Structure 1
């Protein structure tokens, strides 16, 4: 009976995470063979599209997720239909990314996720559907740490990179110090009360030491050769009887017209803003339905 209960619970969790989602007519499932592994990804093309080259957004799921769960979690497919960009949702190795912190299955198996993501982007560009000057990257949690890593190691691929609930890890900091790479626009969206990825830095529950959000922003400011002028903005949202405040900070004057920005979600936790957590058995802190995380991401990208 216990085994039956475990199986039912496992299938329920998979269903909640969207792993059994069916492809739409304007989507395709593709794959790339790397390191003897079949690496899959879903490409979503906007419904009203004439076939000309348009922007591309790569969206990396968090730990235990998948490309399908990232679609359900973020609804970036719907935003892509409205805004007119292609969005691709790759699958991590055993639902994880090799972001360098060392404890994910992808890291433990020495998976080259940078090669996978770079190959996927270059293939889509070669197909003629993507404007190579408008290629963007976003990642959540483990996917956000992966986004930070590939931004540091392969900045030439991207017009802009945003990480949600993830900042610069000590691994990426050390890697970046040994590389002479170009500037790239960076945004970090973080909840101040994230119980899994501490806003103030330290150690993450799934392994690895990380910088604080503020220190991460200052590192990117240094790497992008930004001046000291910081622009700020505040937005408030009413949710029931409580109020949620978002602080926006941005360095607008940086090398090669790049920008460095932080979106501080005061009082919020680890979840993608606006959506129900995909892993119900892990406490991710306070959630909200009144803030659209996907819109925050794309607003940053469109500003570049």
Structure 2
């Protein structure tokens, strides 16, 4: 078969799959409240945008959404389009910002915006502590359901999502990683622990974090299938199935109530494809701690 024809057919299946997910959330909440919170950590006040559904009082299931390196919540919100499908499904969404627009997930694989060597309290940036304080506050204030806290992130925010999910698996009911995989250091840290549902959504044309992975002097990022395999082993899955007609690969025979899914977006690059926000909301809707 002509590879160009195969790719067009492949992309058509992905668009159909995305359309089906988007259709589940077409009745977007007509009204949603938005406030800006300030979360103090390590002597620094960090703003957090919080979007909540008006249809019902809290506590709501909560999604924390982490932007990529050099970006900010406004830019990430514009490309991910998560607020509509999330609030329609009853979720609140928190959009925090990294110090100097970057997250301290582990040994950095790529050079990016400079991060202070120390924070005002004299210690290195501790984004794990920041996220934990934010969730604890939202739970204590009656805004977040502690059994339904979720985490997603794009690019370097996706790497931060992996780090936080593995470090605090009992805090998060599930995680979703967009346009990123798992680094070699993260693979070691994530090898064991409580079961954690995971969704990977990536384009196979990503030039920044390639589908096949990459290595440099700073470390190595596993391929997307190998990244999925890290969590399949952690979650006691028996095998990883072949791609289905929707271009998704699911780990099978996992611990009860756990899913490990890899969604390949044919030809997509290093930005979330249209409908990714709806896919994430649909995936998270299945889980609770």
Q: Which residue of 1 aligns with 2:88?
A: 82
In structure 1, distance between residues paired with 2:278 and 2:172: 19
| Residue aligned with 1:118, SS | helix
Aligned residues between the structures: 249
Question: 2:281 aligned with 1:298, yes or no?
Answer: yes
- In structure 2, what is the equivalent of residue 263 of structure 1? 263
Once residues 115 and 286 of structure 2 are traced to their aligned partners in structure 1, the CA distance between those partners, rounded to angstroms, is: 33
Would the alpha carbon gap of residues 25 and 184 (structure 1) be closer, same or farther in structure 2, given more than 3 Å must change?
Answer: closer
TM-score relative to the length of structure 1:
0.76
Could you tell me which runs of 5 or more consecutive residues in structure 2 were left unpaired when the two chains were aligned.
1-30, 119-123
Equivalent-residue separation in structure 2 for 1:197 and 1:223 (angstroms): 23
CA deviation profile, 1:141-196 (whole Å, cap 9, x unmatched): 0100100111111111111100000111122123335xx53111011111111000
SS at match of 2:253: coil
Instruction: Give me the whole-angstrom Cα distance separating, in 2, the residues matched to 1:228 and 1:69.
Output: 37
The residue number in structure 2 matching 1:210 is 221
Say if 1:253 and 1:259, in contact at 8 Å, map to a contact too.
no
Unaligned segments of structure 1, at least 5 residues: 1-23, 236-246, 275-291
What's the counterpart of residue 219 of structure 1? 230
- Larger RCO, structures 1/2 (Cα 8 Å, 6+ apart): 2
The CA distance in 1 between the partners of 2:257 and 2:201, in whole Å, is 21
> Does structure 1 conserve the Cα–Cα contact (< 8 Å) formed by 2:240 and 2:249?
no
Q: 1:257 to 1:107 in 2, by over 3 A?
A: farther
Q: Distance in 2 between matches of 1:255 and 1:36?
A: 41
The equivalent residue for 2:101 is: 95
| Structure 1 match to 2:65 | 59
Q: Would the alpha carbon gap of residues 79 and 204 (structure 1) be closer, same or farther in structure 2, given more than 3 Å must change?
A: farther
- CA RMSD between the two structures: 2.2
Aligned to 1:195: 207
Deviation at 1:300, TM superposition (A): 1.6
Instruction: Give the 3 Å change call, closer, same or farther, for CA 119–252 of structure 1 in structure 2.
Output: farther
